[in-house]
């Protein structure tokens, strides 16, 4: 078994294992990814990112949720990827195109003293079409400010796609008082969302929005980049905030700007940190579905 190195990063408390594989040699399977992300027996992470080359962009973000399943996009993860490729010398460019399963995303690096301090991501335009989430019903219809019943309580909810599905629930209290695990776990598998959904619990609170998030295939996380964008879009359409606002999660604050008059893209800016680099024990890898092959 070849040596396999990895790095641990976090963006606003949303943490990831990153494997640099620009030559596209590493092969991962679902059970191995889940084992790596296990917080008791593995490294522990909200997801895993394999960074490799791309034909249509500078890099490809091969992203997996903590349960080992592939996912379309991760806003905080792509910021971590940008920091890794710049600071490890894979690029000296400060504006990058990164291919994802939700299309090519453009990122801008804010560099201080040779280190990436913050990253701005053009997350693309949101979609409100049920067919783009996907969500059952008329594929061209929207789900905005509609009642969502769960655990005996009715919330107003809006469905937004940021390349992945989000159900944004507006709550009348501080999201810290919400039973996110009970509600989020039920709505993640709601029959209306055949591929599951992320769930955000949102209230307007200075300096913008306060949010907690239940991520599909992960559980509650400290932050969610696509969730921040979906929350801003839904809250703006509901009249709670302007097109730009700060979105506060348990892990910190993201600055989100929906440029409706400039092509409709949502831009997200936030900090990112490298925690450590390490090498997997080959024996541990072999014990988990044969490990990674290269």
Count other Cβ atoms within 10 Å, centred on residue 284.
14
Q: Catalytic positions, please? A: 74, 224
223 DSSP assignment: -
C-alpha span between 78 and 130 (Å, rounded): 25
Query: Are 130 and 141 a contacting pair, CB within 8 Å?
Result: yes
Calculate ∠ Cα 10-251-134, nearest 5°.
80
For the chain, report the end-to-end CA distance as a whole number of angstroms: 8
Kindly compute the dihedral angle of the four CA atoms of residues 267, 92, 164, 158, in this order, to the nearest 10 degrees: -10
Largest CA-CA distance found in the chain, in angstroms, rounded = 56
Residues near 40 by Cβ (< 8 Å), separated by ≥ 6?
A: none
Task: Provide the token pair at 54.
Answer: 């791309």
3-class secondary structure, 79: helix
């Amino acid at each position: 078994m070849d040596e396999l190195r990895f790095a641990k990063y976090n963006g606003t408390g949303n943490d990831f294992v990153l494997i640099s594989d620009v030559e596209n040699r590493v092969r991962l399977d679902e059970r191995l990814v889940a084992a790596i992300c296990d917080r008791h027996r593995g490294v522990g992470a909200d997801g895993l990112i394999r960074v490799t080359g791309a034909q249509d962009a500078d890099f490809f973000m091969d992203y997996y949720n903590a349960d080992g399943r592939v996912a379309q996009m991760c806003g905080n993860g792509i910021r971590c990827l940008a920091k890794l490729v710049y600071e490890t010398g894979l690029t000296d460019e400060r504006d990058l195109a990164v291919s994802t399963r939700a299309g090519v995303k453009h990122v801008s690096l804010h560099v201080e003293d040779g280190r990436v301090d913050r990253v701005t991501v053009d997350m693309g335009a949101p979609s409100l079409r049920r067919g783009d989430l996907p969500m059952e019903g008329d594929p061209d219809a929207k789900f905005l400010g509609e009642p969502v019943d769960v655990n005996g309580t009715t919330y107003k909810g809006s469905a937004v796609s940021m390349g992945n599905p989000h159900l944004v629930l507006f709550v009348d209290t501080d999201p810290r008082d919400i039973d996110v695990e009970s509600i989020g776990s039920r709505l993640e598998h709601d029959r209306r969302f055949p591929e599951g959904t992320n769930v955000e619990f949102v209230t307007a609170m200075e300096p913008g929005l306060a949010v907690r998030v239940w991520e599909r295939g992960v559980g509650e996380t400290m932050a969610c980049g696509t969730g921040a964008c979906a929350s801003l879009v839904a809250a703006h359409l509901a009249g709670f905030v302007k097109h730009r606002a700060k979105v506060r999660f348990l892990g910190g604050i993201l600055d989100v700007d929906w440029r409706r008059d400039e092509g409709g893209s949502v831009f997200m800016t936030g900090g990112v940190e490298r925690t450590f680099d390490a090498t997997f024990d080959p024996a541990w890898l072999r014990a988990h579905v044969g490990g990674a092959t290269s």
